Structure 1
Amino acid sequence: MYSWRVTKFNPLHRDESGSYKIKDEWTAYSEIGSKVSEEEYLETEEKYINAVLSFMNEMNLDKLYLKDLELHSEGVVEQNASSFMLTMWLGKEVSKQEIKELIKLTLRESIWCSLSYKKQFSVHFGYDYYMYIGAAKDCPKARTKVITSGLFVEEFSLKYI
């Protein structure tokens, strides 16, 4: 199994324990207007969405399954996503378009979810704009594409796929 941590955070700025040393870095949607412009936020969000799609493409996947889901009702309402979320349930097969929306809502802290395809692929999210991807095979083209976009891809041990 292969697994990676995908972030906007340059690993050169981590201490020995792996903690990110730059304290004024933005880490949330709620920081638009104070620590990050809306334009920069949306560009970064799109990079994360495209990262997942790049890995899916290299794995020849056109769908995933909703493995875990937590709703944060205020955030769902704020993002006008109530009707969309009514169509989601654990185990549901989700299309690429639905995956894009789920990632967006997760990054905006309206929901939390993890997505997977059998024991071949998974993606889940941590706090502070961390994303974790696991795959049954190495994905060098996807990694290169994600790095070229401006995100960082680090090998990282995942507990599950």
Structure 2
Amino acid sequence: MLRFRISKYDPRLRDNQGRYLKPEWTSISDIGRTFAGEVLTAEAYLKVEDAYVVAIRDFLSACQIDLVRVTDLETRADLSSDCDRLTLAARGVSLSDVQALREGALIPVETLEPVLRAALRELIWFRLSGRDGGYVHFGYDYYVYFGCEIDPGEVTLTEPPADLFREAFTSPYA
């Protein structure tokens, strides 16, 4: 019964209803825009994306999940635009990685990185499921939800990478 979410949003900056109060970027499409006086660069975006990939791998490893199933796959209608090719280009994500993904596909965790990045970049959406009720769900605004049916005392979770926060939370996609 382990349930939580990872985000780049500091929980201390939420109001009583859980709304985040600081202006923040929420998508790869925000690269070039200014937030709190700083322009979001591709390098800054990729640093955060890298941290999410590490957090997802760490969770799957802690729950001893080495194979995941893709469910509820949604792909953007046109992945061939110039903008989408540029979005795919960084950190080894290719159009063929995204186009090859199929509903129900079983993916070894060690080969999961390109599709994780495509999901974080909003090119695709899906849910991942694994053994012991394990799941990874991608939400709006750069939230990622995790869970498994293993007793929390039996799982050793590493701290999320710097600049990410873990909060007890049940996925709205469960």
Q: Same fold (TM over 0.5)?
A: yes
**Alignment RMSD, CA only?**
2.1
> Which residue of the other structure, out of 111, 129, 137, is the alignment partner of 1:124?
137
Distance (whole Å) between structure 2 residues aligned to residue 159 and residue 136 of structure 1:
16
- Structure 1: any 5+ residue segments left out of the alignment? none
Asked whether the 8 Å contact 1:67–1:115 carries over to 2, the reply is yes
Larger radius of gyration: 2
Residue 145 of structure 1 pairs with residue 144 of structure 2:
no
CA contact (8 A) 2:137 2:173 kept: no
Q: Aligned equivalents of 1:54 and 1:84: distance in 2?
A: 22
SS in 2 for 1:70: strand
Whether the 8 Å contact between 1:65 and 1:92 is mirrored in structure 2 is yes
Is the 2:97–2:115 contact (alpha carbons within 8 Å) kept by the matching residues of 1? no
Q: Which runs of 5+ in 2 are unaligned?
A: 35-39
Q: CA deviation at 1:96?
A: 2.2
Runs of 4+ in 1 over 4 A off after TM superposition: none
Determine helix, strand or coil for the equivalent of 1:86. helix
The code of the aligned residue for 1:123 comes to V
Mapped pair 1:15 → 2:32: no
Q: 1:111: which partner in 2?
A: 124
TM-score scaled to structure 2, two decimals? 0.81
Q: How many residues align?
A: 158
Q: How far is the alpha carbon of 1:149 from its aligned partner?
A: 2.6
Q: Does 1:46 align with 2:50?
A: yes
Of stretches 81-90 and 11-20 in structure 1, the one that deviates more from structure 2 is 81-90
Q: Distance in 2 between matches of 1:160 and 1:74?
A: 25
Where do residues 31-42 of structure 1 align in structure 2 (5 Å cutoff)?
Answer: 31-35=30-34, 36-42=40-46
In structure 2, the residue corresponding to 1:33 is in which secondary structure? coil
1:141 deviation in Å?
A: 3.4
SS at match of 1:128: helix
The residue that corresponds to 2:29 in the other structure is 30
**Residues 28 and 86 from structure 1, CA distance in 2 versus in 1: closer, same or farther, beyond 3 angstroms?**
closer
1:90 CA displacement? 1.4
Contact in 2 for aligned 1:75/1:111 (Cα 8 Å): no
Deviation of 1:75 after TM superposition, in Å, equals 4.6
Tell me how far 1:133 sits from its aligned partner. Answer: 0.5
